Structure 1
Amino acid sequence: MTGYSIGQAGVPSSGRYINTGSGVSLVPVDIEHAHYMALVDPVAAFWVLVAKDRLADVLASRPLLDSYRERSADFARELHNLRFELTPSAVYVNPTERCNLNCTYCYIPAVMRSKGEHMPTERLIDALGRLKAYFATVMPAGRKPRIIFHGAEPLMNKRALFDAIDAFADDYVFGVQTNATLLDESAVRFLTEHRVSIGLSLDGPVAEITDATRHTWNGKSVHKKVLMAMDRLRGYEAWSVIATCTDRNLEQLVPLVELFHERGVPTCMLNAVRCTLPGARTVRPQDDALANHFMAAVERSHELYRETGRKLVVANFANILLAIMAPTARRLMCDISPCGGGRAFFALAADGGLFPCSEFIGLDTFKGGNLFSDSVENVLASPPFAKVIGRNVDQFAPCSGCAIRHFCGSPCPAEAHEMNGGMSQVGAFCGFYEQQVRYALRLIADGKADDFLWDGWDEGIETSFKVILQ
């Protein structure tokens, strides 16, 4: 038998070459740009934009590899901390199970929304007290945790909600996400005086489009009421509007962005419909159609900025840009794996049940415990939470072989589990995210990315190592 020796068994190569041995892996990615393509390290989310006619030279060059190796440990540590070392700093609180609307795509079961319970004022205040005690053990000194009142429709339990905000005004940063139908002048006055961030929902520029998916239980329109609430909020800096993108409103996304800009909306979100429950899947758009209309709407927001000097930031797309340019600056934690559910935040249901995210409320198998009988620490370590926290795109196909997996995160675990059959499945819009990331890289190549982000977004933030090689 012929033998051989390599000196010391198991010693890896020196890493001097790209894409072999222990050298860095840089995968070419076509971003559909006239002059540039991307090279991406799928493991560390490092990237570089390269002139197409120089790709071979760059891959064979030493300077790029040397520059990357100088910072590779920093990249790996930053991404690891973001993915695996976070502790919760926010809670989505549902102060009621009820809603006065019956939206087609809601992730909360209809029986809960129509016949559910309110959380009494005393119990809500007790809940925030318990959460305050928990956060005192994990939050850095001087930093306040966030409480976002979510739905169902939180303003259906307005008295309890407002009393809780009054009671803990110095302890939390508050937000409320509302369908806006109950956001009258007195409610706006209270929330703005308490510096509460306010999110509304509107799916169309005209009633016919909005009403296709958002309406009362009797089928009545809510479009005009939302516009009235938007008028009341004009000039307040801490408000936003969510539009859910479905097959019913895709062709109206550009006019919708124009309406948002005209009415002074500071920030909007154009969210792909979450397909957790069957009703939402009936209005799921096709990926390519969604991508085309979504990018047209984002482009229109940029045109309006250039025309007027006033930005309308599309926050969910801005988050994709930040995932590429400065991962720790992300403001949303859906587009990362594991996602923020159970790690950066968790959700409190009206009965005290604790879930990794609001998207799981209504799915009892994902209840980790109850705030009034279990410690938060034990709930965070419970099997239902571990199932969500353990969803890792490095461990299942096709994500494990995808070069852009850490710019996307394959959201959402709730819809992956309910729609596609398990945590080791992709979410509902893999193709849409592919297009978003390519679009974002094209904007970076053209030097336009800052126009799509909040002013001052990079103050105190270290951006990712990035290079554009001519």
Structure 2
Amino acid sequence: MQPTTLCLPMDCTYCYLPFRKAKNFMPVAVAEAVAEAVNAWTADDPAFEVVWHGGEPLATGREHLASLMAPFRGVKHSVQTNAALIDDAWCEFLQGHDVHVGVSIDGPADMNAHRVTLSGHPSSRVAMRGIERLRRHGIPYSSIAVVSDPDPASAARFYEFFVELGVTTLGVNIEEEEGVNVGPKTADAGRAAEFWAALADAWRANPVVHLREISRVLNFAGAVLKGQATAPAPASAPWEPLPTIAHDGGVVLLSPELAGFTDDRFGDFTTGNVLKTSLNVLVAEAEQRTPWITEFWKGVDACRATCPYFAFCGGAHPANRYFEHGGRMDGTRTRYCTTAKIALLEGVAHHAREHRH
């Protein structure tokens, strides 16, 4: 759910969002339309989660965000925030609404240099101020970090930063070429694999943080060794529906990074709008309503037929295919899957070989 496109006070250099400086806010009617479908789904899935992300969800304001959350029943609410706006009042709101908090920060100040404010200033100080308020109120939180330079020499210091923050879970994303963040990225596969191996070394030495990517590899390896199915985990499989609801009610499936973009062949990438059609229908009829998904399936089939890593990653994700392959969805390997999936598997495998005794 995108309560607003506005991202205050940030202007990260790698951000893919095209309208992050625009004050677009989600009407309550959109949330009510989504909740009509979601409240029925929660009967079958009591762990159902609604994630509010943006833009910066806290830029929506407490009163309006509360009104957007109000129609939902039996769901777990989460926010993914840059933490800059968090004060005591927000902490009380998050606790009062039982909201899980995810903080976006990329590590120590020198590694966080791509996360700058709208005025071009470093953001680490304001982010850490918000994080300190979360800690003071006893609010647990996870983190997502973007790594623009997967330097193996920095992996241990990177990991220990999050240990010291006391995060519950850490997700690590290699910077992607998508949306308005265009241009070739410099990370090569070999260096990325060394980074993942060094990160696994740091985690093994002090395994107090749940490291999302390491867990994916270990779960995959465990399934292989036990002769179990090795379908990619929902969080990493590109074919999971994962509907993203834009601020205006438009629904983008499979890839939230496509929200807000248009294409001569594919239009605005949405399957429709919840203000006009039930979310149940938009999910069930996605392929008929969205021509890019059919082309994407061809790419998944091509990955399955040609890539030995398919069982782990499930094929390149839609946005990476689209933005790296000149607007095509049926391409195969991307720079992102090379550095963030293949290198991840090889790096953790190298770590395991080095520590097998």
Q: Deviations over 1:183-225 (max 9, x none)?
A: 112212221333211111112312x3312x1111210121012
Q: Deviations over 1:105-148 (max 9, x none)?
A: 11111xx11124122xxx23x33332222134545446253210
Following superposition, the deviation at residue 384 of structure 1 comes to: 5.9
In 1: Cα distance, 2:81 partner to 2:40 partner? 30
Are 1:217 and 2:115 an aligned pair?
no
Q: Please, what TM-score do these two structures have when normalized by structure 2?
A: 0.83
> CA 1:136/1:437 → structure 2, altered by over 3 Å: closer, same or farther?
same
Q: What does residue range 285-304 of structure 1 map to in structure 2 within 5 Å?
A: 285-304=187-206
Are 1:187 and 2:187 an aligned pair?
no
How many residues end up aligned between the 2 structures? Answer: 337
> CA 1:284/1:98 → structure 2, altered by over 3 Å: closer, same or farther?
farther
In 2: Cα distance, 1:280 partner to 1:318 partner? 30
> CA 1:331/1:187 → structure 2, altered by over 3 Å: closer, same or farther?
farther
Are 1:228 and 2:129 an aligned pair?
yes
> CA 1:331/1:144 → structure 2, altered by over 3 Å: closer, same or farther?
farther
- Amino acid of the residue matched to residue 181 of structure 2? G
In 2: Cα distance, 1:250 partner to 1:215 partner? 24
> CA 1:229/1:252 → structure 2, altered by over 3 Å: closer, same or farther?
farther
3-state secondary structure, aligned to 1:209: coil
Gap runs ≥5 in structure 2: none
Identity of aligned pairs, percent?
23
Following superposition, the deviation at residue 249 of structure 1 comes to: 6.9
In 2: Cα distance, 1:447 partner to 1:132 partner? 48
3-state secondary structure, aligned to 2:335: coil
Contact kept, 8 Å, 1:196 with 1:238, in 2: the verdict is no
**Counterpart in 2 of 1:149?**
52
Are 1:95 and 2:3 an aligned pair?
yes
**Counterpart in 2 of 1:387?**
292
- Amino acid of the residue matched to residue 353 of structure 1? G
In 1: Cα distance, 2:6 partner to 2:259 partner? 13
Contact kept, 8 Å, 2:196 with 2:343, in 1: the verdict is no
- Amino acid of the residue matched to residue 309 of structure 2? I
> CA 1:251/1:278 → structure 2, altered by over 3 Å: closer, same or farther?
farther
Following superposition, the deviation at residue 331 of structure 1 comes to: 9.8
Are 1:355 and 2:259 an aligned pair?
no
In 2: Cα distance, 1:430 partner to 1:271 partner? 11
> CA 1:275/1:313 → structure 2, altered by over 3 Å: closer, same or farther?
same
In 2: Cα distance, 1:279 partner to 1:185 partner? 34
3-state secondary structure, aligned to 2:320: helix
**Counterpart in 2 of 1:115?**
22
> CA 1:118/1:251 → structure 2, altered by over 3 Å: closer, same or farther?
farther
Following superposition, the deviation at residue 95 of structure 1 comes to: 0.5
- Amino acid of the residue matched to residue 285 of structure 1? A
Following superposition, the deviation at residue 367 of structure 1 comes to: 1.6
- Amino acid of the residue matched to residue 128 of structure 2? L
Q: What does residue range 265-284 of structure 1 map to in structure 2 within 5 Å?
A: 265-277=167-179, 279-281=181-183, 283-284=185-186
Please say which structure displays the higher CA radius of gyration: 1
Gap runs ≥5 in structure 1: 1-92, 306-310, 449-470
Following superposition, the deviation at residue 349 of structure 1 comes to: 0.8
> CA 1:263/1:204 → structure 2, altered by over 3 Å: closer, same or farther?
closer
Following superposition, the deviation at residue 361 of structure 1 comes to: 1.0
Following superposition, the deviation at residue 150 of structure 1 comes to: 0.6
- Amino acid of the residue matched to residue 391 of structure 1? W
In 2: Cα distance, 1:203 partner to 1:216 partner? 14
> CA 1:372/1:204 → structure 2, altered by over 3 Å: closer, same or farther?
same
3-state secondary structure, aligned to 2:95: helix
The CA RMSD measured in Å over matched residues stands at 3.0
**Counterpart in 2 of 1:313?**
210
- Amino acid of the residue matched to residue 215 of structure 1? V
**Counterpart in 2 of 1:67?**
none
In 2: Cα distance, 1:102 partner to 1:396 partner? 37
In 2: Cα distance, 1:442 partner to 1:283 partner? 24
> CA 1:285/1:384 → structure 2, altered by over 3 Å: closer, same or farther?
farther
**Counterpart in 2 of 1:163?**
67
Are 1:413 and 2:311 an aligned pair?
no
In 1: Cα distance, 2:54 partner to 2:232 partner? 20
> CA 1:105/1:434 → structure 2, altered by over 3 Å: closer, same or farther?
same
In 2: Cα distance, 1:149 partner to 1:105 partner? 20
- Amino acid of the residue matched to residue 428 of structure 1? R
- Amino acid of the residue matched to residue 131 of structure 1? V
**Counterpart in 2 of 1:436?**
344
In 1: Cα distance, 2:197 partner to 2:50 partner? 32
Q: What does residue range 126-137 of structure 1 map to in structure 2 within 5 Å?
A: 126-137=29-40
Q: 1:244 aligns with which of 125, 146, 150?
A: 146
In 1: Cα distance, 2:320 partner to 2:270 partner? 16
> CA 1:136/1:369 → structure 2, altered by over 3 Å: closer, same or farther?
same
Contact kept, 8 Å, 1:245 with 1:273, in 2: the verdict is yes
Following superposition, the deviation at residue 178 of structure 1 comes to: 0.7
Following superposition, the deviation at residue 442 of structure 1 comes to: 5.8
Q: 2:281 aligns with which of 373, 378, 389?
A: 378
Are 1:172 and 2:80 an aligned pair?
no
Q: Please, what TM-score do these two structures have when normalized by structure 1?
A: 0.64
Q: 2:330 aligns with which of 403, 419, 424?
A: 424
Are 1:264 and 2:166 an aligned pair?
yes
3-state secondary structure, aligned to 1:436: helix
Following superposition, the deviation at residue 264 of structure 1 comes to: 1.0
